[in-house]
Structure formats: C-alpha cells, structure tokens
Structure 1
Amino acid sequence: MCEALKKNYQLCEEIGRGKFGTISRCFHSISGDFFACKIIDKRSLADATDRECLENEPKIMTLLTPHPNIVKLFDIFENDDFLCMVMELCEPFTLYDMIIQRTLSEHQAALLMKQLLEALSQCHKLGIVHRDIKPENLLFDGRNNLKMADFGSAVWLPEGRSVKGVVGTPYYVAPEVLMGWEYNEKVDVWSAGVILYIMLAGVPPFYGESAAEIFEAVLRGNLRFPTRIFRTVSPAAKDLVRKMVCRDLSRRLSAEQALRHPWILNEGKAMQ
C-alpha cells in the first residue's frame, strides 16, 4: 500500500472490483469529503499489455477529468508495488442496475445516450478509445448525471491510427475486435449502440449461453427488432441503433455524428 495515500486519506469499506484492482471508499480528513480509491497491485499484472494499460489509465483520466460525464481523478499515489487513484465517489448503482429492473422510455434512454455520446466524443477527439463500454462501467453522481468509468482497457491512438487486440466484454464487443482486425474508436460506438438496444428492449441484440456463442452471434451480426418487443419503439430510435450497431465501419456513425441524429436532438420524444 502507498504510505503517502494513508497520510492523506482514511480507507473505508470496499465498494467494487475492477479488472486490475479493488475500489474502496476513502475519507479526506482536511476537506471532510469522501472519494473512491482504486488500488492496483502491480505484482498481479500478467503481461506487457496489462502493464501498458496500467501506465495509461491515470494519464488518460487526467486528460479527461474536466468532462462532466467522465469520473474525475483527484489524486495519484504510486510506489513499486501499488498504484492508487483517488477519484470522484459516485452513487452505489450503475446503468446495469437500472436496466435489469426495467426497460426505459425513449425519452429516458435518449437523455442517457446523449451523455454517453458526449463522453465518447470527448474521448475520441483526444484519440482515446475506451474499449470496454458496458452498463457496469456507467455510473451516476448525486444529481443523476451519467459518469463513464474504468479506463483500465483504454488506449491512446494518434489520428488515423488503429490498434489490434481482443479487449472488451462479450455482449458489447464489436465484430472487428473479435475478427482480430485492426480497429479504431468506432468500437466504442458499437458498444454504445448495443447499450441503447438493451435500454429500449430489456434484452441484448446478440445472445448466447456462453461467451463463445455470444461471440458467434456478434460475428453473424443479424440485428433484429422483434415486433413483440419493439412494437412501441419509434422508427427514429431503431434507425439510430442500426447506424451505431453497423458491421460496415464506413457506414457506422462516429460519436459526434450520433449526437446529431434527430432522435438524440429531439430527446427521444415523438417526432413531429
């Protein structure tokens, strides 16, 4: 553990676990405020890719911290064995917790998707690809603003460059990742489109009993809108999903383009 962290913060209970470490609530006695502290044991990192992600995460979060829909980073402590990041403390529920309880109205889904796309647009302008967009990584602050979290798989890409490597979560990962092709920031748009589908339908567009079956369904890419589920969903909402969950990269929208889609601009309300 970082001794400098203990001098500045009092660690409280564990509140979560990420890919590389634990997250605990912590208290700053001088300000009287509570924060979230992500503690990563460097000794547990298996390979060079993991170590690179570890080095990137605090740098990426520092770049993104001013954005209102991205979890803010306040402090970093590091020694030979541990990296500790003190971050904004969010509410104890995620978008995943919300959508397993109920499907959302189009208005609710559009407001949430707009915030997610705003965060992604900022990431992509800075050349940052999150690579693990999923409901569990979308938190909320005390005013119900959506907050993108967990940049443990993120990578920085210079303009016009691409990256390889299978990273992500089965339901949400884009087909070009699974194919082993080089890919760019549009993998995040695919994942966001899958989340939009789930918010509207209550079920994922690609399903299987195992990770392998899910991957096969993603690779087939047969995007359907069953009438019994989508009977009341507007054509505009389905149009946006189609343009985000699109196998053809040249036709898949960017985050900035998705923000300008009429359904987002109209906040999911009935089109006149």
Structure 2
Amino acid sequence: MDLGDRNLRIESVLGNGSFGVVYLCRDLAKNSKVCVKIVKMKHVAEVQAIKSEIYILSKIKHPRVIQFLRSYIPSHGTVGIVMEYAPGGTLKKIIDRSAIRPPTDSQICSNICDLIMGLEYLHIRHVVHRDLKPENILIDSKGRLKIADFGISAIKHSSNKQRVVVGSPLYMAPECHFGSTPNFQSDIWALGLICYEIVCGTNPLRKLNSLEQIRYYFKMSSIRHFNCIEIRKPWKFFCSSCLQFEPTQRFTIPQLISNHFTITLHYYNQYFKYDY
C-alpha cells in the first residue's frame, strides 16, 4: 500500500478504528522506524479535530510525551501524522500482566513518575489531554512511558464554556459525565485510575456495564470518593488523593509530588536526566 510518501515503507499495522489506521513504517530517508497515523476526514468537525491534534503535537516536546515528527497530505480528505515509534506497546500490556504478577513498588513508582512528568509538562503548556488511559500510554525501548493520542486534547482557555461529553467512559472524571468541560483536574482523576489499575490490575469501575450505570453511581454514591481499600500502601493515599468526586478536592500535580516521599525522591532524581 502507498501512504503517499515515498520515504515511508509499511512494515505492519499497529491498530485501526473509526479515526483511521496506524502503521509501523520504515523511514527510508533516516533508516528508522516510525509510527504513521492515517486519518480520513469525512466531516468539517473531523477537519477541525485533526488540525487541533497536529497543532498541539507540533508545539510540545518532552521525553515522556510521544514525539511528533511531521504531517503531510497523502490524498484529498486524508492526513498522515508521522510520530516516533514506541516498540514496547501500551501500558495496557503492563496492567494485564500485573493481574498475574503484581509489580514492585519500584516499578509502580517509575511508571507513575513518568506519567506525572508528562502530565505536568502538558499542563504547563496549557494542554488538557482529556483521554488519558492505558491504551493511550506507550512504552519506549527503555521501558519508559510516553503519553500519546492527542485526538481530543485541547488548549485550556478560561473563556471555554463548551459543555460536551468527551473521553472514554471508564476514565472520565465524574463532572465530565455530566457535561462539564474537561480540565487539568479531570486529567488528575484519570491519573488516579491508571495508578489504581497498575497496582491492582483492574479498573474500579469494571463492574458497571454501561454509561448510564457509571453516571448513576457518580450521582447517587453517598461517599464522594473512590474507596481504595483494595490498594496496598503506599499507593492507597496517592489514588485516593486523585479519585475525589469533587474536582477541587483532588490533589494538584505539585501536591502529588510533594506529599509522597517515594515519588518525591524518584521524581527529582529523574527530573534533570531528560534525554531529548
């Protein structure tokens, strides 16, 4: 198949969905593997969404965020996004494995700090990810995590009053289920759920089978936070700090870093070891 760029040679298909297809390719000009996302745009809204994704990707650069390389138009109504290739798959693979072989505290700390570093950078750049979940977190050749898939991400504006439900139901913050615009604290909620899954191997909402059941739980629960009794220390406090139903009660990223000694130490040991 021709991807509309003679320097790209397809090696395999990494995934596909309503958005299009993601290919593993060989960049012949640089003799390196890259990930190419081919998106077919059918509606005006899709054009705006892909323009937003490319804009955000082109403005961010951080070792814990997947690197944008370039974009191009292979044919009318189609856009190609070329990104770095992360050979380790997704965080979902680690979580599935943790249900059988629980990760060590050192492994958990490394994963969580990778996500905190990436998320902190995005928020400093005023980017709200809005769809943070294990499937959108990739693993590089060194086993480090990288945040990916900015298809529904947005630049945070104080004047943005749009009320729209976006994201993946199992990782959406309670307020987002009822139409509030996702913000930084919505990403913190998703971070807490991901930590919960890394430690326990499962999502705490797994028993709720529909969007309606999830919304009913958030609306009617008398306890306004997730009960994190299944989580072993020291991660119980971290998760409960993120998984508060009320956004203003969730810890901020600086609080998450400073209120957990293990995370504080690991975070600052890594902070000045960025490899761009």
TM-score interval for Structure 1 and Structure 2 normalised by the shorter chain: 0.7 to 0.9
Preserved CA contact (<8 Å) 2:189 2:243: yes
Q: What is aligned with 2:274?
A: none
**What are the superposed Cα offsets for residues 188-209 of structure 1, whole Å, 9 maximum, x if unpaired?**
1100101111111222222312
Preserved CA contact (<8 Å) 2:130 2:182: no
Q: Which moved more, 1:192-201 or 1:216-225?
A: 216-225
Task: Note if 1:85 corresponds to 2:88.
Answer: no
Q: What is aligned with 1:214?
A: 214
Q: 1:13 to 1:35 in 2, by over 3 A?
A: same
Structure 2 gap ranges (5+): 268-276
Task: Note if 1:149 corresponds to 2:172.
Answer: no
Alignment partners' CA distance in 2, 1:200 and 1:189: 17
Preserved CA contact (<8 Å) 1:39 1:85: yes
**What are the superposed Cα offsets for residues 210-268 of structure 1, whole Å, 9 maximum, x if unpaired?**
33323433443551134xx43xx11x421221111112222212233323332411459
Q: What is aligned with 1:245?
A: 243
Alignment partners' CA distance in 1, 2:70 and 2:34: 10
Equivalences for 1:1-272 in 2 at 5 Å? Answer: 5-17=4-16, 20-43=19-42, 45=43, 48=45, 50-64=46-60, 66-78=61-73, 79-102=75-98, 103-158=102-157, 163-207=162-206, 208-219=208-219, 220=221, 221-226=224-229, 229-230=230-231, 233-234=232-233, 236-262=234-260, 263-267=262-266
Structure 1 gap ranges (5+): none
Q: 1:222 to 1:255 in 2, by over 3 A?
A: closer
**What are the superposed Cα offsets for residues 117-173 of structure 1, whole Å, 9 maximum, x if unpaired?**
111111111111111000011111111110111000101113575653111112111
Preserved CA contact (<8 Å) 2:228 2:240: no
| TM-score, normalization by structure 1 | 0.86
Identity score, percent:
24
Aligned residues: 258
Cα RMSD of the aligned pairs, angstroms, is 2.3
Letter in 1 for 2:195: L
Preserved CA contact (<8 Å) 1:112 1:146: yes
**1:179 Cα deviation after fit:** 1.3
Alignment partners' CA distance in 2, 1:256 and 1:119: 13
**1:95 Cα deviation after fit:** 0.7
Letter in 2 for 1:214: I
Preserved CA contact (<8 Å) 2:7 2:28: yes
Letter in 1 for 2:188: V
Q: Which moved more, 1:237-246 or 1:161-170?
A: 161-170
Alignment partners' CA distance in 2, 1:162 and 1:253: 23
